Structure 1
């Protein structure tokens, strides 16, 4: 199956690039069932359905929004303003291999920004955040906004161009109803394999240099930055704490601290936390204890979420999670950053950054 054929079929589908599955790029289509939660009171029943289908040997693929994660955590939350559900998973018998469309020429597309974050609102929020940082209520927070745009033309060409510019491991394309979700996330939220769960919080960024010398300098500056390492360590400790709630006693460990990953446009600092999942912990427990991700909330996590609630509009799928659960219990989920929603000629993309007192 080729992507172009999928678009002509006008049916829902999900494409996951190589980071999500051991066999590489995969396609899901023709679901046996779909699981959607549009309201908070539907979320727990949806998690139970996910568990039920996995026990029957099916694959589950989809997303959980940021707001669903805050609901699971017990923090204040807002209903999403997007047309997408809080939680969406589709049930499949098997994935398919997807064939590349080759070197076919790209068709035209247009991307016209209609709304950018308001500077005055941003600086008001920044003043409030700095006050909370000064008072010691939080140590770090991820503050976000949205860019809205009009879109016209060939969405497949748009996806190909963005994939070439951002060839990250956790790219995905989900078509649900009239909406296309295109995600170009470099960040692994967690991978679960043979009872071991690995999470890689991503905090600390430097741009690639314009010259080889500048590039080497920026890499060194990131590796030596006490500010970036402090921010990364806060979130790493947060994820250790979250994992401890669903893991065997004494199994949580940090296997890598302050590693630097190289991308086409940036250097990104990550750390790796792993644990052995408790035999009593099901998928409902994993989602409830880990969501929303620490790298896109802040520390302390609960207070950061409360401040996000007071300052931001609903995020929707942005900073939620996207991924695949296999019948054997293995799974991979990304943090839904660098993620676009496009439907009926309108689109949006979330933007944000981590803020500390030294920012």
Structure 2
């Protein structure tokens, strides 16, 4: 796609002016803390799958046109007076689009874009908005599938594994709740949850995303690539810690995803540079223990943002192995789209890309708040336990949104 065509598409979608944004301090996940109270939006790009084209290339070209050149992640970062950096959001559906496995399930929050790039520069330091006492009400949650339907989907994955179609697949459920009042304070509270490495919000006209993710999808810094897949969950108790370390099922599932992520990085890395620096480290997120590994590599010569996104999106820990086969099964199994969850959200600037995987994420449209949660399914998975694990992951998010 030529830049001229990209510009035409940007004009069609329409950047949002600063005056249309909610008057809140910028709190984008992974944005520099020292800059957050001075960031002012300059322009933005939205893209949806119906627009066609390549969202990864569109993002790369849009950033370069506004002084944020990420077409060579090995190139030393140059001073860019035109912009501080940019928020980058890519939905799970956009990642599947990049992988060539389009999703067909209806999106529960269709006002959300599939790609958002928001460019910021510095303005005068702003004081935080004064708290207000506007009433906030969040109604009951309605699940996109019943526990029985979720369990049946787990059994269907196990059957596919038995046939040799896949090795594991991540299944994700959705729930929505009506609300009244301003959802932004509730979404911003998510970023304060313990272990929220990518805590923050991103907003647009008619939508907002709140993230409490602990998981690094991909970081590129001075040519070094890092991903930190999380796979394996237990309650944050002494017993849960011991069970997670001793679980052969969780360790096998985790290592399978580590191998998948190593392969993803190998596609865009210098030959022989992919290493696993930490394997199956147990860390805490809210009331859960989770197993995390750290995989690193050196970027191949000339690697740009577009190829980085194509290689890593959607994330392996929320798809499965083999990734394309798992995506096909996900498209058939899940009753609604993944919306703001299981995608990428973070901060980019020349020389540094830092994107979290949008697990533990909620979104608001004009009518409802939305949450998503799931887990990886293997041959040894117990359907009842998988349903309970998904509930355990979403409980802190829902409690925080209600104000508890």
Higher deviation after alignment, 330-339 or 167-176: 167-176
Matching of residue 10 in structure 1 with residue 9 in structure 2: no
In structure 2, the partner of 1:319 is 342
Matching of residue 206 in structure 1 with residue 234 in structure 2: yes
In structure 2, the partner of 1:283 is 305
Contact 1:62 1:88 in 2 (8 A): yes
Contact 1:12 1:175 in 2 (8 A): no
1:98 & 1:190 partners in 2: Cα distance?
A: 31
1:238 & 1:27 partners in 2: Cα distance?
A: 39
Contact 2:40 2:123 in 1 (8 A): no
The structure-2 alpha-carbon separation of the partners of 1:358 and 1:243, relative to structure 1 and needing over 3 Å to count, comes to same
Higher deviation after alignment, 233-242 or 104-113: 104-113
In structure 1, the partner of 2:114 is 86
**Aligned counterpart for 2:357 among listed residues 308, 323, 335:** 335
Contact 1:67 1:80 in 2 (8 A): no
Tell me the number of residue pairs that the alignment of Structure 1 and Structure 2 aligns.
344
Displacement of 1:113 after TM fit?
2.4
**Aligned counterpart for 1:272 among listed residues 276, 288, 294:** 294
The structure-2 alpha-carbon separation of the partners of 1:120 and 1:241, relative to structure 1 and needing over 3 Å to count, comes to same
In structure 1, the partner of 2:102 is 76
Please report the RMSD computed on the Cα atoms of aligned residues, expressed in angstroms. Answer: 2.8
Contact 1:12 1:29 in 2 (8 A): no
Displacement of 1:302 after TM fit?
0.9
The structure-2 alpha-carbon separation of the partners of 1:51 and 1:25, relative to structure 1 and needing over 3 Å to count, comes to closer
Displacement of 1:36 after TM fit?
1.5
**Aligned counterpart for 1:299 among listed residues 294, 318, 321:** 321
In structure 2, the partner of 1:33 is 43
* Alignment of structure 1 residues 1-359 onto 2, 5 Å: 10=22, 14-17=26-29, 20-21=30-31, 23=33, 26=36, 30-38=40-48, 39=50, 41-44=52-55, 46-47=58-59, 48-53=61-66, 54-55=68-69, 57=80, 58=83, 59-78=85-104, 81=107, 82-94=110-122, 108-116=135-143, 117-159=145-187, 161-166=189-194, 168-208=196-236, 215-312=237-334, 313-326=336-349, 328-359=350-381
Structure with bigger strand share is 1
1:319 & 1:95 partners in 2: Cα distance?
A: 32
Structure 1 unmatched runs, 5+: 1-5, 209-214
Displacement of 1:224 after TM fit?
2.0
Structure 2 unmatched runs, 5+: 1-17, 70-77, 382-404
2:176 & 2:234 partners in 1: Cα distance?
A: 26
The structure-2 alpha-carbon separation of the partners of 1:94 and 1:237, relative to structure 1 and needing over 3 Å to count, comes to farther
Higher deviation after alignment, 124-133 or 157-166: 157-166
TM-score, normalized by length of structure 2?
0.77
